[in-house]
Structures are given as C-alpha cells and as structure tokens.
Amino acid sequence: MLISLIHHARPGRGPLLASVAAGVGVSACYVAQSLLLTLAVARGLREDLTGAVWACCGALALVAVRALLIWAREVAAARAAERVKTDLRLRLYRHLLTLGPAHVTRQRTGAVLTTLQDSVEALDRFVSIFLPQVLVSVLGGLGIVAVLALIDPPVALLVAVTAVLAAAVPRLLRHRMRQMLMDFMRGWRGLSADYLDAVQGPPALKAVGADGHFGTRLSRSAWDFYRSSLRFTQIGTISAGFVGFFAALGTAAAVGLAAWQYASGDLSVTAVFAVLLLSREAFRPVTELMAAFHAGQAALPADEAIRELLAAKPVVPDTGTTPPARTGAPPRVTFDDVTYTYPGQGQPAVDRVTITLEASTTTAVVGPSGAGKSTLARLLLRFADPDPGNGRISADGVDLRHMSLADWHTRIAVVSQEVFLFHGTVHDNIAFGRADAGPQDIEKAARAAHAHDFITALPDGYDTVIGERGLRLSGGQRQRLAIARALLADAPLLILDEATSSVDIAAERAVVDALDRLREGRTVLVIAHRLSTVADADHLVVLTDGRVAEAAPPDQLLAQGGAYARLVARQREGATR
Ligand SMILES: Nc1ncnc2c1ncn2[C@@H]1O[C@H](COP(=O)(O)OP(=O)(O)OP(=O)(O)O)[C@@H](O)[C@H]1O
C-alpha cells in the first residue's frame, strides 16, 4: 500500500526532494544552534564575554536561516502535493470517462465524489507532510545521534534506543489505527452519499412523505460517523501520549546519565549542557514524525479507494479500430437478435430484439413502463453491449464494438427532456462538445432551435450564467437549448428520449418546431414514454417485456388492431376518465 502511495507521489518528486533538503537544513540549524549555545556557555565559564556574545549572535542568525528554510520546505511541499493531486485527479477523471455512466450508476455518486475530492485531498497531507518528514526524521535523527556520539557515546546510545522505542509505538498500534481509519473513511463516504441523496431528492421525498424517514437515516449515519471519528481520535491521542512519554523519559535519562558522568569526573559541565540541549533535539524528529504519522495513516484508506476506482474495468471495452462506414451521412442502424441482461438480473431487459432504423427516418419505440425502451437507447449509445454471443448492433454494416467509442459517440446526439445544463454561460452550454464553434455558429443553432429570442432577452444574452447556481430556465427553454446543442453537434444519428413528466414542454409549439427541424435529414430513434408524439414517426416498434410485439408504420399498426392499437385505446380511456 505504501508503495502504491509512493507511486502516486512520483510526479512531485522534484519539489519533494527540495522539501527534504530544506527539512534536513532545518534539523541542522537546530543542532548548530544547540552547539553555539553550548559554546556561549563554555566561553562564559571562561569569562570570554566577546566569544559568548558572538556565539549567541550566531545562534540568533540561525533562527533567521531556519525561518527561511522552513518557508522553502513548506513551499516545496505544497508544490509537490499540488502536482501529485493534479496528476491523480486527471488520471481518475480520464479513467471515469472510460468507465462510462454505467459505473457511476452502479456506485453511489456521493461515494465516487468523495474518492475524487476527499481521498485525493488526503494524499495532499501524505505527500506534503508525511513523506518528506520520514526522510527528514531518519536523516535528522541519525545526524543528531552522531553529533551526540562525538560528545558522549553512552548518552548517544541511550538516546538512540529510546528514540527507536518511541518511534515503534505508532507502528505497534498501526493495525488498530488502520482499521479505525478505514471505518472512519467508510463512514465519511456513506455520509457524503446520504447527504447528496438528501440534497438531490427532497421534492420527490416530500411528495411521498419520506423526508422524515430520510432524516432519521441521515442522523443515524452522522452518529455512526461521529463515533468512528471519536475512536480514531482516541487511538491517535493514546499513541501521541506514549511517544511524548518515551521522549521525556529519554531526555531525563540522558541528562541523568550525563550528570552522573559529570559527578564521577568523566564529563565537563559544557558537555553536560550540550547533552541537555542535544538530547531534547534528538527526540524532535520522532515527535514530528508522530504528528506526520496521522497524515500518513489517513492516506491509506484514501489510497484504497483510489486504487479501487483505478482498478475498475470499463463495462464496454473500447478496443474497436474500424472507422465508421460513412462519416457525416445518416447511418442505417440494425439491432440483430439483440439480448441484454443487466448485471445481477435473471431476466433479460431486452430479449432477441431485431429492429432496423432506416437511414434518415424516424423510428419510435413504445411500450409499457419497464418494457426495455431506454435499454435500447443505452445499447445504441454503447453504455452496455449485448450479452456475449447474443446479437449485434451495427451502423451501415459495421458492428458498434468494432468502432472506437469516440468515433461512435461523435456520430450521436441525445436530446432528453431531462436537460443537463452545467454552471456556465448560455454560449458555453450550447457549445458543449464542440469547442471549435464560433459565436456565429452558436447563434445559428440557437435561431434554428427557436432559442435566440429568449436568450437575447436574458440579462446578459449569450453570456448569461445558467445551470446549477445560475439563472433558472423553464423546461421548454432548457429543451430548446438542448436542441440547439444537438443542432450544433450536427450528429447524423439522434436519440430523442421523451420523459413522461414533460407533457407541457412537448406541447410547446416552439419545441415541436425545433425538434422537427432537428430530425430533418437524420436517423432518429424516439424513445416514447407517451404515445401522443409518435404518430408522425416513419416506423413504430412496440416492445413488451423486452420483446418486439409488433413493428410497422403507425397507421398500419393502428389498423391492425394489435398491441399498439390497444395501448392507444387504453391511453384514450385514461384521458377521458
Ligand atoms: N440499471 C439497471 N439495473 C438493473 N435493471 C435495470 C436497470 N435499468 C433498467 N433495469 C430493468 O430493465 C428493464 C427495462 O428497463 P427500461 O428502463 O429499459 O424500461 P423502459 O421501457 O424504458 O421503462 P420506462 O418507460 O418506465 O422508462 C426493467 O425491468 C428495469 O427494471
């Protein structure tokens, strides 16, 4: 685990070495200061006042040098930590992208966020405090003992043994500490995830009267977290107490031994004074290491979470290299005998489905809730692949698995009624995914999506900040921005996912017009959760229990009086009741 942590720290090794060098310099200053003060005492005893004053001035000058070195050590350590965190965040983010949305769906979003934020932050203290401190403590400790050995070898031996004993205490308690830290971090991740659910869910929870129950659950996880953090703090205090005890015991024993040697005439008074100052300094590396030890321990569960995330395998392998058959042109997409089962589910969500989305036509998929409509869209987006050996999806004859994900995704745009707007300007939200688009391209897309007029009426027009923490837009306005975004992306294949809740939005003339314009000249798959919007589709597929019940143009299906006709009749009945 430590090796993996040191591996994470590699991008910061330059500034880390600088920080260690400065840290060793700080320790050297302490030793030199003690020696200069001893010299001052020796000169004073010989009534050499000038010599004593010079030695004191030297000790004072060292205080200034030490302050400079501490500053350099902190700056270098912070720089190292920043480099390490930036590198790690980038690696984690890139890896999350390759894992795709399926990973985040399986994990709790709050827990993934905690790994990205808190676990990476925990490495900050490991890199900036613990790692340099280990080297500084070992080098500094050895240096001080070596100087002590020149003055009084028995005292040096005594100090070395007690310092090693003091340093061993945290190591003896480390398994217990690690276990408590794991509990602490697990509790923290759970609490973060619960809070995220609580923040994102209140209206839905209130609607079913579940907010009270949720509040109890939240307070229970907060209480669990409090207890685990208390246990961790307690064990930290116990171990710090033991280190402090050994340090005090070591210093007292060293001074006692030196005093005894003085009494028996084996040591001068100046040497006793040097022992007094240096033996105290000899325990500084241990106590500093102890303080840093906590920072190092906190990184262990963080490292585990990071490694877990980095080790997660993508749900779909991105190994295809075949280029799309015809870039730019609307593709002909076929689902050939496709079966897909969600992990851990017994029944397939989509069962031996064969459908063709003819180029430049609109195919709508309808069916009762849970029939597998959204799953078809997910398979088309390659958020998942058909069960092995159970069918294939191809575009113009090329199996989607043979193309790279990036190639395939640039050919698809999705417009769903749950529009994702991030915190940023209207301009940036439309340009999302097309970084090279200029203001004219963006305005053209917005005009075609009937969004230009409402955008120019906003306080700062295209520069108005919207999305999370920004200006709130109506459902229809958000929808038109999504359409502008899709128009700008100009992908030849379009997935329209119509959520049940947005009847009013779909009824907005401007949205209907904009959608019609978007559909022109593209291959379109409409996931229709309602039937009212599918009458103008070229082709209609009725899914029930993951299977194709019937497929034909809508008029033909209505005339046949089959599953589709029954669905329409049922919906009409529902509307008149
Ligand atoms: N992430 C998932 N893990 C496990 N099972 C899932 C998952 N998502 C959907 N399912 C199951 O797969 C089946 C098909 O779901 P799907 O969302 O495709 O239906 P749908 O027709 O789009 O429904 P709706 O109209 O209600 O959105 C359902 O039985 C559903 O419970």
What is the spatial distance between Cα 382 and Cα 378, in angstroms, rounded to a whole number?
A: 6
Best of 340, 350, 374 for a ligand 1 pocket test (most atoms within 8 Å of beta carbon): 374
Helix/strand/coil (H/E/C) assignment for every residue in 465-522: EECCCCECCCHHHHHHHHHHHHHHHCCCEEEEEECCCCHHHHHCHHHHHHHHHHHCCC
Q: Examine residue 381 and state whether it is found in any structural domain, yes or no.
A: yes
Among 452, 469, 490, which residue terminates a domain? Answer: 490
Shortest-distance atom of ligand 1 to CA 350: 14
- The CATH code of the domain that includes 200 is 1.20.1560.10
Q: Please check whether residues 191 and 299 belong to one and the same domain.
A: yes
Q: How far is CA 380 from the centre of its chain?
A: 27
Q: Please check whether residues 380 and 429 belong to one and the same domain.
A: no
Shortest-distance atom of ligand 1 to CA 527: 22
Asked whether the beta carbons of 491 and 422 are under 8 A apart, the reply is no
- Return phi, psi of residue 169, to 5°: -55, -55
**Ligand 1 site residues, Cβ closer than 6 angstroms:** 105, 342, 345, 349, 367, 369-375, 529
> What does the buried/exposed string (b/e) look like for 171-207 if buried means 16 or more CB atoms within 10 Å of the residue's CB?
eebbeebeebbbbbbbbbbbbbbbebbbeeeeeebee
Alpha helices in 152-267 (DSSP H): 153-172, 174-200, 202-207, 211-263
DSSP label of 53: H
- Amino acid 500: pLDDT: 45
Shortest-distance atom of ligand 1 to CA 347: 29
Q: Please check whether residues 179 and 99 belong to one and the same domain.
A: yes
Residue nearest (by alpha carbon) to ligand 1 atom 3: 342
Among 490, 507, 525, which residue terminates a domain? Answer: 490
Asked whether the beta carbons of 551 and 563 are under 8 A apart, the reply is no
Q: Please check whether residues 467 and 552 belong to one and the same domain.
A: no
- What ranges make up the beta strands (E) of 358-422? 362-366, 392-395, 398-399, 412-416
> What does the buried/exposed string (b/e) look like for 402-426 if buried means 16 or more CB atoms within 10 Å of the residue's CB?
ebebebbebbbbbbbbebebeeebb
Q: Please check whether residues 290 and 363 belong to one and the same domain.
A: no
Residue nearest (by alpha carbon) to ligand 1 atom 16: 372
Residue nearest (by alpha carbon) to ligand 1 atom 29: 370
Asked whether the beta carbons of 243 and 282 are under 8 A apart, the reply is no
Which residue type occupies 194? D
CA of 369 from ligand 1 middle (Å) equals: 8
Complex ipTM more than 0.85, yes or no: yes
Helix/strand/coil (H/E/C) assignment for every residue in 81-124: HHHHHHHHHHHHHHHHHHHCHHHHHHCCHHHHHHHHHHHHHHHH
Q: Which two structure tokens, joined as six digits, stand for 250? A: 């070591």
Q: Please check whether residues 293 and 144 belong to one and the same domain.
A: yes
Q: What would you measure as the largest C-alpha separation in the chain, in angstroms?
A: 119
CA of 304 from ligand 1 middle (Å) equals: 32
What is the spatial distance between Cα 36 and Cα 60, in angstroms, rounded to a whole number?
A: 10
Residue nearest (by alpha carbon) to ligand 1 atom 18: 372
- The CATH code of the domain that includes 574 is 3.40.50.300
Asked whether the beta carbons of 192 and 107 are under 8 A apart, the reply is no
- Amino acid 547: pLDDT: 95
What is the spatial distance between Cα 436 and Cα 416, in angstroms, rounded to a whole number?
A: 24
What is the spatial distance between Cα 272 and Cα 148, in angstroms, rounded to a whole number?
A: 11
Best of 103, 340, 373, 376 for a ligand 1 pocket test (most atoms within 8 Å of beta carbon): 373
Asked whether the beta carbons of 379 and 386 are under 8 A apart, the reply is yes
Left (φ > 0), alpha (ψ -120 to 50) or beta: where does 493 sit?
beta
DSSP H/E element including 433: none
Q: Examine residue 13 and state whether it is found in any structural domain, yes or no.
A: no
CA of 340 from ligand 1 middle (Å) equals: 11
Residue nearest (by alpha carbon) to ligand 1 atom 17: 374
DSSP label of 312: P
- Return phi, psi of residue 94, to 5°: -60, -40
Shortest-distance atom of ligand 1 to CA 529: 25
CA of 387 from ligand 1 middle (Å) equals: 16
Q: Please check whether residues 380 and 425 belong to one and the same domain.
A: no
Residue of 510, 491, 509, 548 lying closest to 363 (CA atoms):
548
Which distant-in-sequence residues (6+ apart) come within 8 Å of 134 by Cβ? 289, 292, 296
* Gyration radius of the chain over CA positions: 35
Q: Please check whether residues 207 and 335 belong to one and the same domain.
A: no
Q: At what angle do helices 269-311 and 211-263 cross, to 10 degrees?
A: 150
Q: Examine residue 458 and state whether it is found in any structural domain, yes or no.
A: yes
Q: Please check whether residues 407 and 423 belong to one and the same domain.
A: no
CA of 517 from ligand 1 middle (Å) equals: 30
Q: Please check whether residues 200 and 324 belong to one and the same domain.
A: no
What sign does the dihedral 473-479-484-489 (CA atoms) show? positive
- Amino acid 380: pLDDT: 94
Best of 108, 345, 347, 353 for a ligand 1 pocket test (most atoms within 8 Å of beta carbon): 345
- Return phi, psi of residue 500, to 5°: -60, -35
Q: Examine residue 7 and state whether it is found in any structural domain, yes or no.
A: no
Residue nearest (by alpha carbon) to ligand 1 atom 24: 369
Asked whether the beta carbons of 180 and 232 are under 8 A apart, the reply is yes
Q: Examine residue 275 and state whether it is found in any structural domain, yes or no.
A: yes
What is the spatial distance between Cα 17 and Cα 77, in angstroms, rounded to a whole number?
A: 9
Q: Please check whether residues 555 and 450 belong to one and the same domain.
A: no
How many folded domains does the chain comprise?
3
CA of 189 from ligand 1 middle (Å) equals: 27
CA of 370 from ligand 1 middle (Å) equals: 5
What is the spatial distance between Cα 498 and Cα 534, in angstroms, rounded to a whole number?
A: 10
Q: Examine residue 21 and state whether it is found in any structural domain, yes or no.
A: no
Best of 104, 107, 342, 369 for a ligand 1 pocket test (most atoms within 8 Å of beta carbon): 342
Best of 105, 347, 375 for a ligand 1 pocket test (most atoms within 8 Å of beta carbon): 375
DSSP label of 471: B
CA of 90 from ligand 1 middle (Å) equals: 32
Residue nearest (by alpha carbon) to ligand 1 atom 31: 370
Residue nearest (by alpha carbon) to ligand 1 atom 7: 342
Q: Please check whether residues 300 and 213 belong to one and the same domain.
A: yes
What is the spatial distance between Cα 111 and Cα 105, in angstroms, rounded to a whole number?
A: 11
- Amino acid 24: pLDDT: 92
| Blockwise average pLDDT, block size 10, the chain, 577 residues | 74 90 92 90 86 91 94 92 88 80 58 71 82 89 90 91 83 74 74 69 52 69 80 79 86 90 87 86 85 74 80 80 79 95 91 94 90 92 91 93 87 82 86 82 91 91 78 82 88 80 56 82 87 81 93 89 83 66
Shortest-distance atom of ligand 1 to CA 375: 18
Q: Examine residue 69 and state whether it is found in any structural domain, yes or no.
A: no
Residue nearest (by alpha carbon) to ligand 1 atom 28: 370
Domain that holds residue 128: 85-311
CA of 360 from ligand 1 middle (Å) equals: 28
Q: Examine residue 546 and state whether it is found in any structural domain, yes or no.
A: yes
Among 442, 467, 490, which residue terminates a domain? Answer: 490
Alpha helices in 410-502 (DSSP H): 426-431, 439-448, 452-456, 475-489
For β-strands 493-498 and 523-528, DSSP reports them as parallel
CA of 349 from ligand 1 middle (Å) equals: 7
CA of 372 from ligand 1 middle (Å) equals: 6
DSSP label of 348: -
CA of 102 from ligand 1 middle (Å) equals: 13
CA of 346 from ligand 1 middle (Å) equals: 13
